[in-house]
Structure 1
Amino acid sequence: MEQLVIENFLSIKRATITLKKINIFIGPQAKGKSLISKLIHFCKEVPFGIFDAAAEEKSKRDFDKDLRIRFESIFPTYAWEKNAFYVRYTCDQYGVEISHEKINSKYKLSIKYTAHITKTLNAARKILQKFISDDAETRITSTRRASINREVREAISSTLNGGNPSLKIEQVIYIPAGRSFFANLQKSVFSFLSTSIPIDYFLKEFGAIYERTREKNFLSFIEQQRPKHALKLVSDLICGSYLSDKGQDWIMTEHGRINVSNSSSGQQEVLPMAMVLSTWPYAPSNIYRRSFVIEEPEAHLFPIAQGQVASLIASAYNAQNRQGTFTITTHSPYILTAINNLIQAGNVSEMPNANHTALHEVIPKNQMISFSDVSAYIVDRGTVKSIMDEELSLIQADAVDSVSQYFSEKFERLIELELEAANEAEE
């Protein structure tokens, strides 16, 4: 079981969160949804840094220092340096504990992990040193270097996962809000990321992934892997087809082509997300299992398009041989409703007498979601509460409908006032 426990960290007072293949966090702004998703990213990616540490011949102390630097890059110290907090992440392979405690009148940040991480780090360093020693008298070619790197990564995966070849190292791709930022950079993305200009940690990380996603070689390779239905969803979302030409991003429509920098705010926001979600989940890897954190997938989109984003995520979730997870933060009840529809389709498909032909006309098989693979929480006022309805095998309806109810109650009261005023006028 995968679990995240948070105590008194920034806006979250106390939370115990069970993580599954699809994790949804909904709630008002500035209440802790992104905080949770960033903690998930940080903890899941602790093993991902083992290869770099081994390649650079870093000690455990150096590895620990890098973890602290990365934590402080994601969560600036000024926000928590005067407060005690505790975070614990556990999964089947390892665990991570992050604490900030007062010791002799001073606070100390501590990031600890289970012995399995240390064992994997040591194993990776030994294997790499052996390769370097064996090749000491010969020049290491780029082909040989690639082979060594692959074998070291395979050894890391094997050690971390107890020799289970079906499990892989988790790579988490964070898709932040504000991704329309890259619509205006286009061919300048790489040079911008190479500068020393301060930039949000996750925007920079996503910029590097998006830059690779736009490369012609990658797009040509992935074209053979990605299913047509995923490409169709992207076309529906951006109202055209994507074209990269001489470092510029274009959307091709029946009326001609338009540069992404001149497109609508919805197209600018959805294109980078749609490109990543329609490619990387389908990119085969013997070493990595790719997980995704998606902030505000609904940004600048009409409700029907929000449903198409949910379908795109569900298609990636259903990709063949996938092991990764999807974490979604949202303000939108439409996202919850769309995912509920996909869960209900999964519920119906499991019934012995289900009419699968009729069912697939409503929801394609490649978009159905299993209720057992979903966790959903409402984040508000420092707490995190599950909104899963175990009896109906759905996300709770009152959580989905609460926003509509809020406006409906006001509207009904206004109608009452209108009738009262009309009655008084008649009298």
Structure 2
Amino acid sequence: MNEQLIVKNFGPIKDATVDFKKVTVFIGPTGGGKSTLAKLAAVLRDVDFYAQQNGPEYLFDYYSLEDYFNSSSALELSRGRYKVKAKGRRITYDHNTRRLINSQVKQATQVFNKQSTDKIPELAKTIRATAKSTELVSTEIDEIVENIKSITDTLIHETSLEILKLVFSKIFFYKHPVYIPSERIFVSALNNSWAGLMRDDIGLPAPLLTFANNYAQIRSEVNALHLPMFDVKYIHRKDEDFIEIKNNKKLINLHNAASGIQSVAPLLVLIEHLAKSNEQAQSFIIEEPELNLYPTTQQGLLNWLVEKCTTGENDLTITTHSPYILSHLNLLLYAYQVAERHPDRADDVAKIVPRESWINPKEFAAYHVEGQKENGVHSIVNPETGLISYNDLDALAGNSATEFDQLLDINAGLEAE
């Protein structure tokens, strides 16, 4: 994956250059711009940004980014030979990108149009033969044939739009990124009330409603799923969601389960379903996976996410506040390195860290995001070790250790007196 996002003067981001990898992580203080970068990746990876009739501003509104523009805002996304820019809300392409896109769209559209046009005489012939037995006059037959042609032309136009979307989905791999917002715990808490909330349009965030709707549609297809980080089982039965605990015959309604399970279960069910698709690569963007979770459970969840969300051409982007997430990412990175250096000991490594969760350092990026500061968005990966810098880990863990040492010094001084 070779994708770079450049952001200038957009909301909380003053100046940032981010290289996205198979696994990309943003950490930083509240309001620093982590979610802004994640949402911009979702906007610029979505085929609707380039091909929809409503214009690109729709997706900025969808992710609540519409107020982040100013006169000097500039966005740029490049992937391999393709580069797209957004100055304000206007999309532009460099010459090579436009040429490549137009060529693919033109060729694909010509093939489809020829196939559709070839079918019109056959339709007309069938209509005329049928019309003889229904006593239609010639003018009425001609009108029907013309109507059929008009409908076919409309279909050609609409399908051309779909062709354009398919071209962009091949360029950027995805059709629509899977954005999973931090408010996801509401999905379990409100149980089956989502249909009414969406019908009444009560103003909940659009990504949350989309997540809830997607989950509601696919949960019956999953039916049962082991949640290893909790050692419980999710069960969907008769349009209800339950949790099964070992050695407990009575099922618990999901909305009565622990908050961590409520937050994680819909997330895992949706990803389990989508990750199995071989038709289209998936871009998973997850806000704060650590919500409501004990540190060791955060680590178990991260193992699961890396395994499920990075198969094939899929990729994973997360925003986080948790230094435990960063520490565990280092473990997954180091497991890959040890196994690569000592292939004969790979099985021993896998006994400690599941093989499916190893991360190739070449396919990993992590950034500290404090967007309004000078150099506020910077990589925290040590280029020599391929791991997250331990200096950065210590800094992100806060000053509590230093402050504790200071208290020890004071205490020692008091005792000395």
The TM-score, its normalising length taken from structure 2, stands at 0.80
Change (3 A) 1:393 1:76: closer
Q: What secondary structure, in the 3-state scheme, does the structure 2 residue paired with 1:334 have?
A: helix
Distance 1:198 1:129 in 2: 42
Distance 1:184 1:125 in 2: 47
Q: Kindly state the Cα deviation for residue 332 of structure 1 after the two structures are TM-superposed.
A: 0.4
Match of 1:77 among 51, 62, 66: 66
Distance 1:120 1:406 in 2: 55
2:392 match: 399
Alignment of 1:277-296 (within 5 A): 277-285=271-279, 288-296=280-288
Distance 2:108 2:212 in 1: 29
2:197 match: 192
1:253 match: 245
Change (3 A) 1:186 1:123: farther
Q: Kindly state the Cα deviation for residue 352 of structure 1 after the two structures are TM-superposed.
A: 4.2
2:258 match: 264
Change (3 A) 1:96 1:207: farther
Paired AA for residue 56 in structure 2: L
Q: Could you list the per-position Cα deviations for residues 164-191 of structure 1 after superposition, in whole angstroms to 9, with x for gaps in the alignment?
A: xxx9544310011010010123323234
2:143 match: none
1:371 match: 361
Match of 2:209 among 192, 204, 207: 204
1:299 match: 291
Larger Rg: 2
Distance 1:161 1:77 in 2: 27
Alignment of 1:284-363 (within 5 A): 284-285=278-279, 288-319=280-311, 322-352=312-342, 354-363=344-353
1:413 match: 406
1:219 paired with 2:222, answer: yes
2:44 match: 43
Distance 2:42 2:105 in 1: 20
Paired AA for residue 92 in structure 2: K
2:9 match: 8
1:228 match: none
Q: Percent identity?
A: 26
Q: Kindly state the Cα deviation for residue 83 of structure 1 after the two structures are TM-superposed.
A: 4.2
Match of 1:97 among 79, 85, 94: 85
2:141 match: none
Asked whether the 8 Å contact 1:68–1:111 carries over to 2, the reply is: no
Q: What secondary structure, in the 3-state scheme, does the structure 2 residue paired with 1:171 have?
A: coil
Change (3 A) 1:181 1:88: same
Q: Kindly state the Cα deviation for residue 260 of structure 1 after the two structures are TM-superposed.
A: 1.4
Q: Kindly state the Cα deviation for residue 123 of structure 1 after the two structures are TM-superposed.
A: 5.7
Distance 1:86 1:158 in 2: 24
Alpha-carbon RMSD across the aligned residues, in angstroms, is 3.0
Distance 2:114 2:239 in 1: 42
Q: What secondary structure, in the 3-state scheme, does the structure 2 residue paired with 1:187 have?
A: coil
Distance 1:191 1:127 in 2: 44
Q: Kindly state the Cα deviation for residue 112 of structure 1 after the two structures are TM-superposed.
A: 2.6
Change (3 A) 1:247 1:128: farther
Distance 1:117 1:190 in 2: 39
Identify unmatched segments of 5+ residues in structure 2. 128-147, 149-157
1:110 paired with 2:90, answer: yes
Asked whether the 8 Å contact 1:290–1:325 carries over to 2, the reply is: yes
Identify unmatched segments of 5+ residues in structure 1. 54-61, 101-108, 141-148, 224-230
Q: What secondary structure, in the 3-state scheme, does the structure 1 residue paired with 2:281 have?
A: strand
Q: Kindly state the Cα deviation for residue 360 of structure 1 after the two structures are TM-superposed.
A: 1.3
Distance 2:183 2:174 in 1: 28
Q: Could you list the per-position Cα deviations for residues 84-122 of structure 1 after superposition, in whole angstroms to 9, with x for gaps in the alignment?
A: 21010111263321112xxxxxxxx32234424455555
Q: Kindly state the Cα deviation for residue 193 of structure 1 after the two structures are TM-superposed.
A: 2.8
